[in-house]
């Protein structure tokens, strides 16, 4: 993307987030975004041909903020659960200023199954990025299982985050910590089962993202 295209994309995304936070997702058209961003419709369409593209850009922006805060080296004292907790809390901190826009997107996805389906790949990429930030592989079958596990945790924690009125997101932290601990427990039980002498199931990567 050229610098002009990157500038147009940023303006469009900022305008989009502001509009849907104010009016709701369904009430905002691409032409509204173009007008609010001070772009010609053709210029907007060149970088974001639909609102799903703008949602994907929003998620990518949040991913970038989270990854920018990821330490270059892992602390050997930290567990995988610790690293994943840190990555996901950085995500919720990055999402906090955009909570109204996020609510608008979530409501729209609940009402429109096709929109929810279209957002799926971007959500999975975001979960993969969080796993990699925690030094957990997101590739292959085991990576796909981790992505699914983390996505389920994210959906549950998001409901708490949506109503969390604490300044430090302490309710969100408690919810995330509880679910990651549960995932870690199930992961350990799964590992114990597949590695037991009587088990005929070959060892496989645990389902838990915190594995």
pLDDT tens profile 170-182: 999 999 999 999 9
Residue with tokens 């996901």: 88
Q: Which SS3 state, helix, strand or coil, does residue 114 take?
A: helix
At residue 211, the pLDDT reads 35
At residue 75, the pLDDT reads 80
Residues of the chain whose pLDDT is less than 50? 201-211
CB-based contacts of 161: which residues, under 8 Å, 6+ apart?
Answer: 92, 95, 99, 169, 171, 172, 175
At residue 4, the pLDDT reads 62
Q: Output the CA angle 22-26-32, nearest 5 degrees.
A: 65
**Angstrom distance (rounded) from CA 20 to CA 37:** 13
Distance in angstroms between the alpha carbons of the first and the last residue of the chain? 37
At residue 126, the pLDDT reads 97
Instruction: Encode 156-185: b = buried (16+ Cβ within 10 Å), e = exposed.
Output: ebbebbeebeeeebeebbebbeebbeebbe
Beta-carbon neighbour count of residue 1 at 10 Å? Answer: 10
- Where is 79: in which H helix or E strand? none
**Angstrom distance (rounded) from CA 147 to CA 123:** 9
């Amino acid at each position: 993307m050229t610098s002009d295209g990157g500038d147009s994309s940023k303006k469009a995304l900022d305008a989009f987030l502001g509009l849907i936070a104010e009016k709701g997702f369904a009430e905002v058209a691409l032409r509204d975004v173009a007008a609010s961003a001070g772009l010609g419709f053709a210029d907007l369409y060149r970088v974001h041909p639909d609102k799903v593209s703008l949602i994907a850009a929003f998620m990518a922006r949040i991913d970038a903020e989270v990854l920018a805060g990821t330490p270059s080296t892992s602390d050997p004292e930290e567990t995988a659960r610790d690293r994943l907790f840190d990555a996901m809390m950085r995500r919720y901190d990055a999402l906090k200023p955009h909570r109204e826009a996020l609510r608008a997107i979530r409501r729209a996805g609940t009402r429109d199954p096709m929109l929810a389906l279209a957002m799926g790949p971007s959500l999975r990429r975001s979960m993969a990025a969080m796993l990699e930030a925690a030094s957990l592989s997101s590739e292959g079958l085991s990576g796909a299982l981790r992505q699914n596990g983390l996505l389920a945790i994210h959906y549950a924690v998001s409901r708490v985050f949506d109503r969390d009125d604490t300044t430090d997101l302490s309710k969100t932290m408690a919810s995330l910590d509880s679910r990651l601990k549960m995932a870690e427990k199930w992961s350990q039980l799964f590992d114990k089962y597949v590695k037991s002498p009587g088990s005929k199931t070959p060892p496989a990567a645990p389902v838990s993202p915190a594995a």
